[in-house]
Amino acid sequence: MNKTVEIQDLGHKDYKATWDYQEGLFQSVLSTKIKNRREETNLETSNYLLFVEHPHVYTLGKSGDFSNLLLNEEQLIQKGATFYKINRGGDITYHGPGQIVGYPILDLENFFTDIHKYLRLLEEMVILTLAEYGLKTERSPGETGVWLDVGTPFARKICAMGVRASRWVTMHGFALNVNADLGYFDNIVPCGIMGKAVTTLNVELGVENVDEAEVKAKLLKHFLNLFEAEAYH
């Protein structure tokens, strides 16, 4: 079992180009697994964690409802945003500058074969990271992601999640709002949930800007601990 994870920071990268790149890594891991099964070989499968920041984009999961996007094509252009229907779980979400997006492409057979546990560990990674900034965040029953003030009229989401898995190989992942422009969330029904607010780390801390490199380093530290993994760059 290979518990090393290759960490790649892609910087600021177009959503579609990143999706294609992710898909390539995902397919390469899958093809190794298929070869192992067919030829009874025992080749090691790779694991990756990609960090990226996207230009303004809205993505709709395979079970999502297109009506949760509140913009037409012309309005999207005016906002400088793009739209994609994609193959992850979940409904609609927004990605953009000031948001740390993480895409773990893991062969879960190297770790554990439990998608529920996988999602809970990703949430825990974010909860532990935000605790280092003095924020108490938690899960919301039946809603994937990380929230503040769950069960109150002030419930708000700070991190969205949506994954795809095939033969225990994962792709897509999480999006943590650090310094994101919350105005872009006004153009969607986030994750298809009416009346739920969205927030960012800098707003919660009452500061203009949070160091995103520092947040990434904390996320990575907790990711490696929770998955009992080793990083290489």
Catalytic residues: 191
Distance CA 233, CA 69 (A): 37
**Single-letter amino acid code for the residue at 105:** I
Distance CA 162, CA 143 (A): 11
Q: Which residues are annotated as a binding site for substrate?
A: 88-95, 160-162, 173-175
Distance of CA 231 to the CA centre of its chain: 19
| Beta-sheet pairing, 169-177 with 230-232 | unpaired
Judge whether 129 and 218 are in contact, CB under 8 Å: yes
N-terminal to C-terminal alpha carbon distance within the chain: 19
